[in-house]
Structure 1
Amino acid sequence: MHGPLPSPEQPTSAHREIHHFEFIALMAALMALQALAIDAMLPALGDIASALGVSDPNRRQLVVGIFLVCSGLGSLFPGSLADRYGRRPVLLVCLGGYVALSLACAVVMQFDALLGLRAVQALASAGLSVLPSAIIRDRFGGDRMARMLSTVSIVFMLVPMIAPTMGQAVLLVAGWRWIFVVLGALASLVGLWVWLRLPETLHPDYRQPIEVGPILRNMGASLRDRGSIGYVFGSALVMGAMFGYINSAQQLVGEHFGAGPRFPLLFGATALMLAIANLVNSRIVERFGARRVSHTAVLIYIVVAGFQVLLSHLPGQTLYSFMPMMAMNIALLGFIGANFGSIALQPFARIAGAAASVQAFVRMVIGAGLGIVIGQAYDDSARPLSWALLLCGLTCLALVLFSERGRLFRRLTPPGGSRPVAQP
C-alpha cells in the first residue's frame, strides 16, 4: 500500500494527499519526540547535577526516570479522549504541552523544580507515544499492522542513536538548558506537520462517549482478554530492563567502563542494532507471523541475558565484553516490542484508542518504575542490570505462555492480513 491514505471523515484536499512513506515518517516523528526527551538528556546529566547542586550521583537519573514514569501515568487519558474527539486535536494539544514545558525546563533554577516540570511535561505529552499506535490500528490489522508498527519503529529507534550525540553537540556550543530549547523547536515543527498534513483517521461510527462507565469498560475489556494481557505485561518487563540500562548507562558505560566521550557513540550503536532488528522484523513478520518471530526472540533474549549474568560475575569485566552482549539483547527487543504491541492491540478495533492508552499505561508505569529500581541498584558493576535482564526475560516468557495457554509459535492470522478484527 504505497498510494494516498484516505481519511474516513472526508478531510480537506490538503490532508487527502498524505502518502504511505510520509505517514510512516510522521508517526515515527511523533514517537521520536518522547525518545528525544529521554535520550538527549543523558550526556547532560552530570552538568545538570553540578549546575543545580545535586551531590548524589544516582539522583541525577531521576531526570530520565521521572519522565518515564509520568509518561506511563499520562498515557491513560489521551486514548479515550482521542476515541471521542479524534486523533488530530488530541495530538495537537499534546504537542503544545511538550513545547511549552520544554521551554519552562530551560529556565528552571532548582533541581526539584526541574523534576516537577519534567513530570508535568511527560503527563501533558503522553499522547505522543500512545496515539501513533491507535492511528496505525485505525488503518491496519493482523500481521500487516505488526509490519507497520515495526517499520515506524525503525525510524523511531534511530533516535536514541542520534539523541545523545545531539545533546553532546549542544553542550559543545551552549549550556544544557539549550537542549530543552532544541526539543521545543523540534516539537513545534512536528506540530505544524500534523496540522497541515495528517488526516483524521478515527471512523465516525467508532467515536466513544466521554463517560466514566464506558471508558472504564473499554479499558477493562483491554485488560481482561487473556490472549492480550500476557503480551502487555511481558513487554512491560523487557521494557523495564531496557529502561534500567538507559537510567544507568551514563554511569555504567561512561564512567565505570571508561567510555568517556565515546559514550554517545556506543549508546547510539546499540540503538542502531535495534533499528536494524526492526527493519529485519518488518521484512519477515508477515511471512512468519508476529507470534513465531517474537517467541523466538524471547527465548534467545533469555539465553543472552544468562551469558550477561555469567560475564558480570567474572573478574575484570571490560567494556568490550559488556557492550556486544548488551547490544545483542537490545537488538532482540526489535523482534519483541512491535510484535507484542500488535498482538496485544489486535482484538480492539472499535476501542483502539482506549486499549492503546491502558496498554501503554501498563507498559510505561511498570517499565519505568522497574527501570528506576534497576538504575538505583547500580553498584559500580553490571551485575544488577544483568540479573534484571535475565529475570525479566524469564517472567516475560511465563506471561506469554499464560496468554497462549502453554503453546508457543502458533499463527492465528493469515499472511498479510489487514482486515480489521471485530471487538470481542
Structure 2
Amino acid sequence: MKQDRPEVKKEFIALMAILMSLVALTIDAMLPALSQIGTSLQVENSNDNQLIITSVFLGMAVGLIFYGPLSDAYGRKKIIYLGIAIFILGNLLSIFSSSFFVMLAGRVLQGFGVASCRVVSLAMIRDQFEGPQMGKVMSLIMMFFIMVPALAPSVGQGILLFSQWRAIFVLILVFGIISLFWLHFRQQETLALEKRIPLSLASFKSGASETLKHPVSRRYMLGSGIIFGAFVGYLSTAQQILQHQYQLGDLFSLYFGALALAIGLSSFANSKLVMRFNMAKLCRGALIVLTITALGFYFYIENLETQPPLMALMAYLAVTFFSIGLLFGNLNTLALHPLGHIAGIATSVISSVQTLVSVLIGAIIGQLYEGSVVPLVLGFFFCSLTTLVLIYRTKKAAAI
C-alpha cells in the first residue's frame, strides 16, 4: 500500500492543478477571439468586447463568498460538483448566444461556477497537507498552473484557424466535464464528517465581520484587489494592444504567453525568497519597483512622437509582471495570516472582496483605452502607489 502513495499524490496534484486552471482557461483562451465575438454579436464599441473578460471576474466575485462555507458544511466534492454544473450551464449559454447580453450572462455564470474550483481546491489541499509539505504541493501545482495562461491563447488561436469562436467554448466545456468525471471517479472526499461545520448565517456574519474589520487583513485585502485591478485592466486590453495596436495578428498568443511566463518565473523565485526574506518587505519592494518603472515608462512614452517600440513595451511589462508575481501569493498570505481560526470564511471573504475591487478598477482602465498604452501604464502606477501607501504602515504582519 505504501508503494501506491507517490502515484496517488501525483494524481491528486494533477487533479487540483486541472481544477484550478479552469479559471485561467476560461479567461485566456478567449482573448484571441474577442474581436470575432464582438463582430458576430454586433458590438458597436470595440472596448465593450472587454466585458467578455471582466464579466467572468464579476461572477467569480459573487461566487467566491459562498463556496468556502458551503464546502465546510457539506463536503468538498459536492460543492465542486455544484460549481462545475453552473460553469457548464454558463458555457452552453455562451455557445448558443445570439446577443451580446446573453453572452455576458453566460460568462457571469461561468465565473460564478468556476469560483468553486478556486476556493474548494485550496480547501482540499489544506485537508490533505500542512506546513512545508503543503508549500511543496502548492509549488508543484503552481508550476503546472502557470502553463495554462501561457498556452491558452495559443490554443484559442489554433482553434480559430479551423473553426469559429464558439468552438473555443466547446473546448472549455469538454475540459470542465473531464475535470468533473476525474474528480468523481478518482478522488475521495477529503473532509471527514466529524470535521464539518454546520452552515450558520450567524457564524458566517461573525467571521465576515471580523475579516472586514481586522486592520491588517483589511489593508492587505484591499491592496491586493487594487493591484490585481491593474492586471485585470491588462487582461481586458491585451488583445487590443498587442493584436491590433501593434499589429501582431496571430503572433499575439506567443507574446502574451511569454509575458505569462514572467509571472511563473517570479512565482518560482518567490518560493525561494520567502524562506530568506520578510514577506511584507518583499511586497513593499515589489510595489516600489512597480511604481517607479510605471512612472519612468510613462515619461518615456510622453517624450516619443509615436507609440513605444514593441520590445520596449515587452521589457516594461516583463518587469511589471515579475513584480506582480511576487505580490499575489504574498499579499493573500498576509491578509489571511491573522485569521487562521476562521480560515474558511476568511478565504471566501478576502477572495470575493479582492475580485470585486479588481473588476471595478480593471473595467475603468479598460474603458479608458483609446489606441494607446498610456491608460494601462498609468493604471499600474496609481494602483501600485495606492497599494504601497495602504500597506506601508502595516507592521503587525512583519514577522512572516
What's the TM-score, normalizing by structure 2? 0.92
Which residue is equivalent to 1:125?
A: 114
Which residue is equivalent to 1:288?
A: 277
Determine if the alignment matches structure 1 residue 162 to structure 2 residue 112.
Answer: no
Q: 1:299 aligns with which of 288, 292, 298?
A: 288
Q: In the alignment, is the contact (CA less than 8 A) between 1:134 and 1:352 conserved in 2?
A: no
Which residue is equivalent to 1:403?
A: 394
What's the offset of the Cα at 1:199?
3.6
TM alignment of 1:84-233, pairs within 5 A: 84-139=73-128, 148-202=137-191, 204=193, 206-233=195-222
Alpha-carbon separation, structure 2, partners of 1:285 and 1:379:
39
Moved more, 329-338 or 119-128: 119-128
Which residue is equivalent to 1:58?
A: 47
Which residue is equivalent to 2:26?
A: 37
What's the offset of the Cα at 1:303?
2.2
Cα deviation code 1:15-60 (max 9, x no counterpart): x9731x4333322221211111111111111111111111211111
What's the offset of the Cα at 1:206?
4.7
Taking a change above 3 Å as real, the CA distance of residues 73 and 39 of structure 1, as seen in their structure-2 partners, is: same
Alpha-carbon separation, structure 2, partners of 1:386 and 1:3:
53
Moved more, 194-203 or 162-171: 194-203
What's the offset of the Cα at 1:289?
4.6
Give 4+ residue runs of structure 1 displaced > 6 Å after superposition: 2-5
- Counterpart residue identity of residue 272, structure 2: R
What's the offset of the Cα at 1:333?
1.6
Q: In the alignment, is the contact (CA less than 8 A) between 2:284 and 2:392 conserved in 1?
A: no
Taking a change above 3 Å as real, the CA distance of residues 382 and 125 of structure 1, as seen in their structure-2 partners, is: same
Determine if the alignment matches structure 1 residue 322 to structure 2 residue 310.
Answer: no
- Counterpart residue identity of residue 172, structure 2: L
Moved more, 152-161 or 318-327: 152-161
Q: In the alignment, is the contact (CA less than 8 A) between 1:146 and 1:290 conserved in 2?
A: no
Alpha-carbon separation, structure 2, partners of 1:311 and 1:114:
39
Give the secondary structure class of the aligned counterpart of 2:97: coil
Aligned residues: 397
What's the offset of the Cα at 1:252?
1.3
Determine if the alignment matches structure 1 residue 375 to structure 2 residue 366.
Answer: yes
- Counterpart residue identity of residue 346, structure 2: A
What's the offset of the Cα at 1:4?
8.1
Alpha-carbon separation, structure 2, partners of 1:362 and 1:3:
43
Moved more, 219-228 or 185-194: 219-228
More helix per residue: 2
% identical aligned pairs? 32
Which residue is equivalent to 2:268?
A: 279
Alpha-carbon separation, structure 1, partners of 2:143 and 2:3:
21
Determine if the alignment matches structure 1 residue 312 to structure 2 residue 301.
Answer: yes
Which residue is equivalent to 1:421?
A: none
What's the offset of the Cα at 1:173?
1.0
Give the secondary structure class of the aligned counterpart of 1:286: coil
Cα deviation code 1:147-189 (max 9, x no counterpart): 6545433322221111111110111111110101100111111
Determine if the alignment matches structure 1 residue 361 to structure 2 residue 352.
Answer: yes
Determine if the alignment matches structure 1 residue 384 to structure 2 residue 372.
Answer: no
Q: In the alignment, is the contact (CA less than 8 A) between 2:225 and 2:358 conserved in 1?
A: yes
Determine if the alignment matches structure 1 residue 18 to structure 2 residue 16.
Answer: no
Taking a change above 3 Å as real, the CA distance of residues 113 and 337 of structure 1, as seen in their structure-2 partners, is: same
What's the offset of the Cα at 1:88?
1.7
Q: In the alignment, is the contact (CA less than 8 A) between 1:150 and 1:338 conserved in 2?
A: no
- Counterpart residue identity of residue 28, structure 1: A
Give the secondary structure class of the aligned counterpart of 1:379: coil
Alpha-carbon separation, structure 2, partners of 1:398 and 1:145:
32
What's the offset of the Cα at 1:267?
0.6
Q: In the alignment, is the contact (CA less than 8 A) between 2:87 and 2:109 conserved in 1?
A: no
Taking a change above 3 Å as real, the CA distance of residues 147 and 173 of structure 1, as seen in their structure-2 partners, is: same
Which residue is equivalent to 1:244?
A: 233
Please, which runs of 5 or more residues in structure 1 have no aligned partner? Answer: 6-15, 413-424
Give the secondary structure class of the aligned counterpart of 2:87: helix
What's the offset of the Cα at 1:143?
7.3
Cα deviation code 1:344-403 (max 9, x no counterpart): 223444433211111110111111111111000102111111111011111111222243
What's the TM-score, normalizing by structure 1? 0.87
Alpha-carbon separation, structure 2, partners of 1:341 and 1:218:
17
Taking a change above 3 Å as real, the CA distance of residues 214 and 115 of structure 1, as seen in their structure-2 partners, is: same
Alpha-carbon separation, structure 2, partners of 1:240 and 1:355:
20
Moved more, 87-96 or 40-49: 87-96
